[in-house]
Amino acid sequence: MKIHTSDPVAEPGAVAYHRCTVDLRSGEMVFADVPCRNLEDVLGGFGRSFQDLAKRQVTDAYSDENPLIVNTGLLTGSSVMTSLRTYFSGYSPLKASKKGLPAAMWSTGSGSFGAKLKWTGLDELVFENRSAQPVYVVIREGGNGPQVELKAATHLLGLSTHEKMMVLHKEYPEAHFASIGPAGEHWQTNRLGAVALSTENQLKSGEDKCRFAGRGGMGSLMGYKNILALVALSSDRLRPVSEAVKAVNLNVVRGGGSARIQPLHRGGGGGTWAAYDVLQAFHAVPYNNFRPAGNDLPRKLFRENVEPHYHIQSQACFRCGITCHNNISEKKADGGKGEFLAKFDYEPLNLLGTNIGIHDAGQAARLIQLGDNLGMDSISLGVTIAYVLAYNERHPATPLLNGATFGDYEKIRELVIQCGEGKLPEIGQGSMRLSESLGEPSYAYHVKGLELPAYQPETNPGYAWAIAGGHMSMGTYGLLTREGKSDVESWVKGITEDKLQIVGFDMIGLCKFFDIAKGIGTQMVVDCLKSEFGFEVSTEALCAAVRRGFLRGLALELRQGYTKAEYRLPAEVSENPNPHIRLPNITSPDFLDKLEKRVWEIFEPELAGILD
Amino acid sequence: MNIHVQLIGLFKTGRFDQKTLDVPEGIRVDEVIATLGLPRQLFGIVLINDLHAEPASQLREGDRLVLMPIVDGG
């Protein structure tokens, strides 16, 4: 970034980001310093990419008109805690309106690739058209600025996400990587492709501990472009931590924002896995395709029931003080760590575990590991498989595919492998397309073509307005469960004011655990921007920029043909209310009608002209 | 007076799962939390007789109190 102002709100044009546009067909590359249009451009991530996507008319995700935009946030690669994010944006192969037009989408992950990319001196890569041959892309810092090179990648074909990185690591030992797996390579039959991002721990240990930008099939779009991997090669340019940032980092680590994510031995809640216990108290842990049965089976994947049999290690991303994740390995006879299996976060554990009838931690871990290595979004994969299993339960005489049913590990494993290898377009196309082709969409758990995360829709009508995935682009998933809000006005306020602010993290380069409840419109972020860039930005200006970014996403959905009728939860939720969920019913047709009316009354006037 | 207390998740560790406690009349939820030594920064959800309540809520004889850690993210 080139910065010539302390007031990026009044003078965004005095801030420029460095972009490289790569024509994959011709190999031509254009470098430019691009003046920012507004604060969203300055912040980066989807705040910038969605403005560029809005300029394009894209009717097919797999077309020359659809770019793949890879960028970072303003704070990516800074000394601020959690600043490791990379963003992948484009029109989604997976998320689409009923009219058939692809939705604009972004996906993000941590790992060390984003910081390395930022340190090459490049803020954004735009990939146009499609390479005729498989390539990987090397981005490196040079004496006269960043350099980008396309290299033949035939030798990487067919390798897993992790294997690709380890092969490239031998050639570029100082680099970090983003790669797709076989799923992304088979983009024609698999729209669930994720992009994996390398971690320090992974490259040092050789264990498959990637991070993932999973949502919306950005890995399939990368596969369509014929890009198998990105290599970011730069020296470490981490600046010394200022006193102001040090204070913020301490607050992040010790404060309410992330303390609950910390490991148990540090007095924390033990990561997102802890959600199992809480949601089970309400009988709201997704079970057998989002139909909790009021039984105790979800308890089998409680940490307390897994720990005696597996080695669990709390670990953090590189340089992050939030030790948010739990790595599961086989346990040796002496109690020591055996073979690494998978990272247990709430979403993949549930959606490739309890929600498909798998209650054995080892089996769930193996399915997560398979999905990761094949390079698929665990949410979309798990939910689409759950739909197949539910269909087979309803049609025992004429089941789909291999006839797998809930809990049949071997057959489910076969589905995951075949899907990842591009041999099962039925699952690879996602739950919306599959359910509509079968004429049974009511129990397909997606909204707007994107599969739901592992929070029951009965607890979150806000899913309807999420612009890039159910829980990470609309923070209402705890409004009923956690806050006990069951009146329409609280939900209107949540959706249209407070909870949409969660998407700010997907502009600025920080992980949501920085301060998941409050967003980026906080004094902590103001202090960091002042310290790192000399910016004078108010919390109000940050909130306003996030809101504009969110509304742009909503406007883009409508432009791509979504009707208001598509802003709805799966029909089964209202048509066949689940009697086992111990929470007030906020998904009756009457409640949803009132909510929809009030939310649109607020959003619609603000959408006019926002894409201009 | 007696109240029935259920602890969820990590709050059970080193304490109990469910228990009937003999507490002073008019005790508030936050006083029960303090008595049990539950970490405040992890505290998330209070249910009294299956309804969401606040730490400042007052308890009555026979109430069923459920205390849960916060739930976040995925």
ipTM of the complex: 0.94
User: Kindly report the CA angle at A140 between A136 and A144, in degrees rounded to 5?
Assistant: 135
Cβ count near A554 (within 10 Å): 20
pLDDT above 80 for A258:
no
Percent share of chain A, pLDDT over 90: 92
pLDDT for residue A516: 86
Q: pLDDT averaged over chain A?
A: 96
pLDDT for residue A523: 97
* Crossing angle between the packed helical segments A361-374 and A161-171, to the nearest 10 degrees: 60
All residues of chain B having their beta carbon less than 8 Å from the beta carbon of residue A454 are 74
pLDDT in tens, A472-491: 899 999 999 999 999 999 99
Confidence of residue B70 (pLDDT cuts 50, 70, 90): confident
Query: Is the separation of the CB atoms in A183 and A190 below 8 Å?
Result: yes
Task: Please state the rounded mean pLDDT for residues A75-80.
Answer: 97
Give dist(CA A64, CA A565) in Å, integer: 30
pLDDT above 80 for A101:
yes
User: Minimal CA–CA distance to A219: which of A426, A377, A21, A416?
Assistant: A377
pLDDT for residue B42: 84
In chain A, what are the domain boundaries?
Answer: 2-233
A259/B41 touch (CB, cutoff 8 Å), yes or no: yes
Confidence of residue A257 (pLDDT cuts 50, 70, 90): low
Lowest mean pLDDT across A52-66, A138-152, A245-259, A298-312: A245-259
Instruction: Confirm or reject contact between A554 and chain B (CB < 8 A).
Output: no
Residue A416 backbone dihedrals phi, psi, to 5 degrees: -60, -45
pLDDT for residue A256: 56
Query: Is the separation of the CB atoms in A314 and A345 below 8 Å?
Result: no
User: Minimal CA–CA distance to A421: which of A227, A219, A230, A187?
Assistant: A187
Percent share of chain A, pLDDT over 70: 99
Per-residue DSSP letter, A62:
S
B71/A278 touch (CB, cutoff 8 Å), yes or no: yes
All residues of chain A having their beta carbon less than 8 Å from the beta carbon of residue B52 are 483-484
A vs B, Cβ pairs < 8 A, gives 81
B74/A346 touch (CB, cutoff 8 Å), yes or no: yes
pLDDT in tens, A145-185: 999 999 999 999 999 999 999 999 999 999 999 999 999 99
Say whether A301 sits in a helix, a strand or coil. helix
To test the contact with chain B by mutation, choose from A482, A490, A514, A586 the residue with the greatest count of B C-beta atoms within 10 A, namely: A482
B44/A260 touch (CB, cutoff 8 Å), yes or no: yes
User: Minimal CA–CA distance to A281: which of A588, A585, A580?
Assistant: A580
What is the greatest pairwise CA distance in chain B?
Answer: 40
Per-residue DSSP letter, A501:
G
What residues have CB less than 8 Å from A397, skipping those under 6 apart? Answer: none
Q: Which residue has the higher pLDDT, A3 or A273?
A: A3
Task: Please state the rounded mean pLDDT for residues B5-20.
Answer: 94
Q: What residues 490-529 of chain A have any CB closer than 8 A to a CB of chain B?
A: 512-513, 516-517
Task: Please state the rounded mean pLDDT for residues A38-42.
Answer: 98
Task: Please state the rounded mean pLDDT for residues A95-120.
Answer: 98
What length does chain A have?
612
Domains (range + CATH), chain B: 2-69 (3.10.20.30)
pLDDT for residue A262: 76
pLDDT in tens, B19-56: 999 999 999 999 999 999 998 888 889 999 999 999 99
Closest CA of chain A from B33, distance in Å: 16
Give dist(CA A571, CA A577) in Å, integer: 10
Closest CA of chain B from A178, distance in Å: 22
Tell me, letter by letter, the H, E, C secondary structure of A430-463.
HHHHHHHHHCCCCCCCEECCEECCCCCHHHCHHH
Residue A68 backbone dihedrals phi, psi, to 5 degrees: -110, 120
Task: Please state the rounded mean pLDDT for residues A385-410.
Answer: 98
Confidence of residue A316 (pLDDT cuts 50, 70, 90): confident
Per-residue DSSP letter, A405:
-
Q: At residue A249, what is the residue type? A: N
Which two three-digit tokens encode residue A303? 């940490």
B44/A345 touch (CB, cutoff 8 Å), yes or no: no
Give dist(CA A40, CA A508) in Å, integer: 9
A274/B44 touch (CB, cutoff 8 Å), yes or no: no
Q: Give the nearest chain B residue to A277 (CA atoms).
A: B9
pLDDT for residue A268: 74
User: Minimal CA–CA distance to A371: which of A404, A417, A408, A326?
Assistant: A417
pLDDT for residue A322: 83
All residues of chain A having their beta carbon less than 8 Å from the beta carbon of residue B14 are none
Whole-number Cα distances in Å, A101 to A106, A208, A429, A558, A566: 16, 35, 15, 10, 13
Beta strand B2-7 pairing with B64-69: parallel
Q: Give the nearest chain A residue to B40 (CA atoms).
A: A256
Write down the H helix ranges in A46-192: 46-53, 113-119, 161-171, 182-185
> Which residues lie across from A252 on neighbouring strands?
none
pLDDT above 60 for A542:
yes
pLDDT in tens, A125-143: 999 999 999 999 999 999 9
Helix (H) or strand (E) holding A547: helix A539-559
All residues of chain B having their beta carbon less than 8 Å from the beta carbon of residue A269 are 9-10, 42, 69-70
Instruction: Confirm or reject contact between A441 and chain B (CB < 8 A).
Output: no
Instruction: Confirm or reject contact between A579 and chain B (CB < 8 A).
Output: no
pLDDT for residue B74: 65
CATH class entry, domain A2-233: alpha beta
Say whether A152 sits in a helix, a strand or coil. strand
Q: What is the dihedral of CA A128, A132, A133, A137, to 10 degrees?
A: -10
